[in-house]
Chain A
Amino acid sequence: MSEINVRQALNDALREEMEADPTVMMMGCDIGVRGGPFGVTLGLQKQFGAKRVKDTPISEPGYTGAAVGAAATGLRPVIEILYSDWLTLCTDQIVNMAAKMRYMFGGKVNMPLVIRAPFGAGGGVAAQHSQSFEAWFNHIPGLKVVAPITPYDVKGMLKAAIRDDNPVMFFEHKRSYQMKGEVPEGDYIVPFGKAAIRREGTDVTIVSYSMISIRAQNAAKELEKEGISCEVIDLRSILPLDYETVMSSIAKTNRVVVCQEANLRGGLAGDIVAEIIDRGFDLLDAPPVRVGAPNVPMPYNAGLEAICIPDEENIKEAVRKVMSND
């Protein structure tokens, strides 16, 4: 066991997978010589060469399309879209090509493509660099979508993503790279579709993922002092989503708050609430409550930005609401 940060965990996962499998290769802007704008790919081009760690022109649709072709013809490409806001540019390649190819070729083609996409808000990077598009891709059959947050999960899930024969959207929170955690030595994977219970509780289930799962744990700690016991679930994997864990927690608490960092409208929280109602309406002793950002572009101004990013206070408020029987 050693304590490393998310950046190092990602770097280790990439290195180990490239060492183990010569078909793993990477593409993206500034990932090679510079080691990536966030330093995630530092040292990898030096170790594996410019053919396997390719710097590309600033053309997301171009290198995404190239990666789809590479994946279809035997390589296991990992590409970086920085920031995830530019997924808009390569959405045709992802939605119409990568997500459909295995299906439309009757399973005769694999699509082992990983799209790393730093997402989330914070740090005053304004409306075009603060978005969270996980719900867009959650909507598309043929994709897998994950958003791990701890160094352990980040490393294990990136390895699982690289070994998966389906296109995987790998959302890294851009404010998480410095976050530290224990990671074991040696090879391990964190399988998709299995949520983690970060904190056990009896009164309310808080469903969360990525950065807001950390805030949910902080909120739960404070709510404990108010006598409210919260069970915090970190989904880790969004598609597939571990509804078994979610529903068995709700069977215990009968109350649920679903958190996302993205603005609420059309978001994942709404979709999760709908699924909860489909699966266990009779388990609910109160209407589910969603936590998310207001439906506005993320402000650049630090004060306004802080108001818009859902935080511990918003989660506590939601929990109190779901407990109020109002």
Chain B
Amino acid sequence: MSKIMTLPKIGVNMTEAIIDEWFVKPGDVIKKGDAIFLAETDKATQEIFATDFGTIEKLLAEQGDTVEIHQPIMTLLDEGEQIGEDEFAEEAMQEEQTAPELQAEVQAPAVVEIVIAKAAEPKQTKADTARVRISPLAKKTAKELGLDISKLSPEQPGKRITKSDVMKFEKAQGSAAVREAAVVGTGSSFATMQIKACADNMTLLIKRFGQSGLDIGHIDVVAKAAAVALSKHKGLFFSGDEINIGVEADTQSGAVVPVASGADKKTVGQIKADIDAMSLGNANFVITNLGAFDIESYVPSRNIFGCTTLCAGCVTRSFVPDERDMPKTRSEIKMTLVFDDSAAAGIDAAKFMQKVKQYIENPELMLL
């Protein structure tokens, strides 16, 4: 019996995708994770990966079609299953309707060939041929950023593409690029480790920043602590001197990863400014901030960003025993490190995490 594969939702705000190009055709055997088509989503043009496996029986959408998420895109057959006879009959009938010269007694394989040829035939999308409605400023900006204007789209269909559309696309593509790198980098093994740190001093520090009119969040201090700790453990997770911390940020068009370059040499305020400004760059260490959504701890099942990742949880209040084993309260933050354990030894990663914990518990140590 054939099974249906639907369009997976790959971005937070993704609602639909335009099929730019199929990479597969009926008869192909695919496995989970194979790139199956190039999609134009609300954020960027990117590859969509199979969420199931089997032999492709039929593609349910053509190039250029817009498909909503969770709508069927193909049917798959399990190993050993054959493409059903009646399916051919159905195809044959469809072909007959569109191509009357085809005789009713046409042999099934011939029809399959036609179907395949149709699916494989590159179809020009509208964007290739139509003139793109774009403002001079947006055009210039796209050129400077090296973006293909045929890939851009206006905020609302039919409107002119403006600079803000270009900037949104650039941001989305920036994060897409990081994710793409992640897909390439997941071949190696990875490990996770978690540490809990007292957040009392960090919370006090942030409060004092606030009193001086500086809007600093926990994640900014964590980013700084990680950057300084990395500067003390050079070469542990990546080579090179430049410490570029990416901080996953939630935006209207989905999660993006702005980067604070040379973060160990920057102040907490400068790091925050870089993140807020959505500065792009090549992160060699990423911090995720699900703590912003009250998540206490997060252990990803794969190395999402393709580089060492520190998942910061929210700050919680907890009871801990004091010297006399009486309960006292303190603020705590949980952090999970996701790293390539074939490249860095667990003991070195643990030392790094201990350093991060020290900095968070005693931020003044970062001044040394």
Q: Which residues of A contact B (CB under 8 A)?
A: 254, 281-286, 324-326
Task: Give, as a whole number of angstroms, the nearest-CB distance from B156 to chain A.
Answer: 8
Determine the distance from Cα of A326 to Cα of B158 in the docked complex, in whole angstroms: 8
Is B137 interfacial (CB 8 A cutoff)?
yes
Contact in complex: B136, A325 (CB < 8 Å): no
Q: Which residues of B contact A (CB under 8 A)?
A: 135-140, 154-156, 159-160, 162-163
Task: Give, as a whole number of angstroms, the nearest-CB distance from A281 to chain B.
Answer: 5
Among A281, A282, A283, A285, which residue has its beta carbon within 8 angstroms of that of B162?
A: A285
Q: Which residue of A lies closest to B165 (CB)?
A: A325
Contact in complex: B160, A325 (CB < 8 Å): yes
Determine the distance from Cα of A325 to Cα of B155 in the docked complex, in whole angstroms: 9
The 5 closest A-B pairs by CB, nearest first: A285-B137, A325-B159, A282-B140, A285-B135, A325-B160
Q: Which residue of B lies closest to A284 (CB)?
A: B136
Contact in complex: A254, B137 (CB < 8 Å): yes
Contact in complex: A284, B162 (CB < 8 Å): no
Q: Which residue of B lies closest to A324 (CB)?
A: B159
Contact in complex: B163, A285 (CB < 8 Å): yes
21 A-B pairs (CB sep. < 8 Å): A254-B135, A254-B137, A254-B163, A282-B137, A283-B136, A283-B137, A284-B136, A284-B137, A285-B135, A285-B136, A285-B137, A285-B163, A286-B135, A286-B160, A325-B135, A325-B154, A325-B155, A325-B156, A325-B160, A325-B162, A326-B160
Determine the distance from Cα of A254 to Cα of B160 in the docked complex, in whole angstroms: 14
Q: Name the B residues within 8 Å of A325 (CB-CB).
A: 135, 154-156, 159-160, 162
Number of A-B contacts (CB under 8 A): 32
Q: Name the B residues within 8 Å of A281 (CB-CB).
A: 136
Interface of A is mostly: loop
Q: Name the A residues within 8 Å of B163 (CB-CB).
A: 254, 285
Task: Give, as a whole number of angstroms, the nearest-CB distance from B274 to chain A.
Answer: 23
Task: Give, as a whole number of angstroms, the nearest-CB distance from A25 to chain B.
Answer: 51
Q: Name the A residues within 8 Å of B156 (CB-CB).
A: 325
Q: Name the A residues within 8 Å of B160 (CB-CB).
A: 286, 325-326
Q: A254-B137, A283-B136 are in contact. List 10 more A-B contacts (CB 8 A).
A: A282-B139, A282-B140, A283-B137, A284-B137, A285-B137, A285-B163, A286-B160, A286-B162, A325-B135, A325-B155
Q: Name the B residues within 8 Å of A283 (CB-CB).
A: 136-137
Q: Name the B residues within 8 Å of A286 (CB-CB).
A: 135, 160, 162
Q: Name the A residues within 8 Å of B135 (CB-CB).
A: 254, 284-286, 325
Task: Give, as a whole number of angstroms, the nearest-CB distance from B295 to chain A.
Answer: 35
Determine the distance from Cα of A286 to Cα of B135 in the docked complex, in whole angstroms: 6
Task: Give, as a whole number of angstroms, the nearest-CB distance from A313 to chain B.
Answer: 24
Determine the distance from Cα of A281 to Cα of B163 in the docked complex, in whole angstroms: 14
Determine the distance from Cα of A282 to Cα of B135 in the docked complex, in whole angstroms: 8
Determine the distance from Cα of A258 to Cα of B301 in the docked complex, in whole angstroms: 58
The CB with the most chain B CB atoms within 10 A, among A254, A282, A285, is that of A285
Determine the distance from Cα of A286 to Cα of B162 in the docked complex, in whole angstroms: 8
Q: Name the B residues within 8 Å of A326 (CB-CB).
A: 159-160
Q: Which residue of A lies closest to B140 (CB)?
A: A282
The CB with the most chain B CB atoms within 10 A, among A254, A324, A325, A326, is that of A325
Contact in complex: B155, A282 (CB < 8 Å): no
Task: Give, as a whole number of angstroms, the nearest-CB distance from B306 to chain A.
Answer: 35
Determine the distance from Cα of A181 to Cα of B239 in the docked complex, in whole angstroms: 68
Q: Name the A residues within 8 Å of B155 (CB-CB).
A: 325
Task: Give, as a whole number of angstroms, the nearest-CB distance from A135 to chain B.
Answer: 26
Q: Name the B residues within 8 Å of A284 (CB-CB).
A: 135-137
Q: Name the A residues within 8 Å of B138 (CB-CB).
A: 285
Q: Which residue of B lies closest to A250 (CB)?
A: B137
Task: Give, as a whole number of angstroms, the nearest-CB distance from B224 to chain A.
Answer: 32
Determine the distance from Cα of A285 to Cα of B137 in the docked complex, in whole angstroms: 5
Determine the distance from Cα of A282 to Cα of B140 in the docked complex, in whole angstroms: 6
Q: Name the A residues within 8 Å of B154 (CB-CB).
A: 325
Q: Which residue of A lies closest to B161 (CB)?
A: A325
Q: Which residue of A lies closest to B156 (CB)?
A: A325
Determine the distance from Cα of A224 to Cα of B135 in the docked complex, in whole angstroms: 24
